[in-house]
Amino acid sequence: MQTILRTLAIQLALTAVSVFGQSKPAFEVATVKPVVPMDQATMLAALQSGKMPYGANINNRRAEYTYLDLKTLLTYAYGVKPYQISGPDWMATTRFDIVAKMPEGSTKGDAPKMLQSLLEERFKLATHRTKVEHSVLALVVGKGGPKLKASAGTPSAIDENGPLKPGEMKMDSPDGPVRVKVDLATGSSVIDMGLMGKMSYRIVPTAQTIRLDFSMTTMSGLADMLTQMFTMFGGAGGRQVVDLTEVKGNYDASIDVSLTDILAMARAQGMDIPGAVGGPAIGPAVASDPGSGGTSLSEAVRSMGLKLESRKAMVDQFIVDHVEKTPSEN
């Protein structure tokens, strides 16, 4: 009996060492390169070649993260939203290209943990999570009730193995695969986000505005998109928008935003944008330019019979305790 127990104890000990001694999944090999701000010509050249000039693309055993700032890379690695991340300001402006090879037998689902390992090793990243009370924007129904157009259809998940349509490009977002179609001749684009719905935009040069159309979008999806736009535009302090409408279903909506807002967003994202499309060069942009002919996002929300209210809520926070600006050698 003692022999059996001793043998069992040894087996358990070896199993424990094997399990707890395993390292976090990691890329087989990876290169990390800082990149300079992208100019308009570089971006157009990439689009004309049928390749997204930024974003992530994970295919087979190859993982590419192109022209992404460290804050965005954290959203891919840890599944957090940009507004949840607290860290040095440079994390949102300093950009990198990462090209990595995944080990044999890996799947796309393994990529986030492998990216975690890379960030922790190359950037000496150290983090922790907590909950903090923050000001948020509650998306609620306005006094006169919602003025929403119900969608004729419902969104469907993107078939990652499906062939690309003419002019279509693919990329991976932190929330799943995305298909993008860009028409450079008209300055328009359609973004298919799968179950989150679709968003399209087109430039109106005469009015110096951009028309944003949402289709088959849920209220929670609209709140998430508004959060992303407020974060990019710098409006409302970049606060999170939380859906408290209790409105169910899928809806279509349109928003006209001043081109000045979009230029401010692009410049804030590190792009060298000299001026408006179809117009003269524009100086430093200020969001929600009252003379642009566009409207602010808050005004557009009110036009849909909804409104945004400032409230306090407990928000999950992802705190960066330490990170190096210069990654270690490849």
| DSSP letter assigned to residue 160 | T
Exposed / middle / buried, residue 254 (Cβ in 10 Å: 0-12, 13-18, 19+):
middle
pLDDT reported for residue 291: 32
Question: Which residues, at least 6 apart from 68, have a Cβ–Cβ distance to it below 8 Å?
Answer: 54, 55, 56, 76, 95, 96, 98
Contact 274/42 with Cβ under 8 angstroms?
no
Count of domains for the chain: 1
Distance of alpha carbon 51 from its chain centroid, rounded?
18
Residue 19 lies in a domain: no
> CA 182 to CA 324: how far, in whole Å?
36
Task: Please give the pLDDT value at position 9.
Answer: 47
Domain contains 10? no
Residue 123 lies in a domain: yes
Q: Is residue 8, in this structure, part of any structural domain at all?
A: no
Which pLDDT belongs to residue 200? 85
Report the C-alpha gap between 60 and 169 in whole angstroms.
Answer: 17
The number of CA neighbours under 13 Å toward the Cβ of 164 is: 14
Instruction: Kindly give the pairing relationship between strand 126-141 and strand 241-243.
Output: parallel
Is 36 domain-assigned? yes
- Taking only the tens of pLDDT, the chain with its 330 residues reads 444 444 444 454 444 444 444 467 899 999 999 998 777 677 777 676 666 777 888 888 999 999 999 999 999 999 888 878 999 999 988 999 999 999 999 988 899 999 999 999 999 999 999 998 878 888 999 988 888 889 988 888 888 878 878 778 888 888 788 888 887 777 788 888 888 888 888 877 777 787 888 899 888 888 887 877 666 554 445 577 888 999 998 998 887 877 776 666 556 555 555 544 444 343 333 333 333 334 566 777 888 889 989 888 888 899 999 999 999 887
Instruction: Please give the residue range of the domain that contains residue 91.
Output: 29-322
Q: What pLDDT score does 270 carry? A: 53
In this structure, what token pair is assigned to residue 269? 């994202």
Write down the pLDDT at residue 169. Answer: 83
Domain annotation covers residue 124: yes
The verdict on residue 218 lying in a domain is yes
User: Does residue 98 lie in a domain region?
Assistant: yes
In degrees and rounded to multiples of 5, residue 119 shows phi and psi of: -65, -40
Residues 278 and 188: their CA atoms lie apart, in Å, by 13
User: Tell me, what's the pLDDT at 241?
Assistant: 86
Verdict on whether the full-model pTM lies above 0.95: no
* Dihedral sign for Cα atoms in the order 65, 68, 72, 73: positive
Of the candidates 323, 315, 320, the one whose C-alpha atom is nearest the C-alpha of residue 84 is: 315
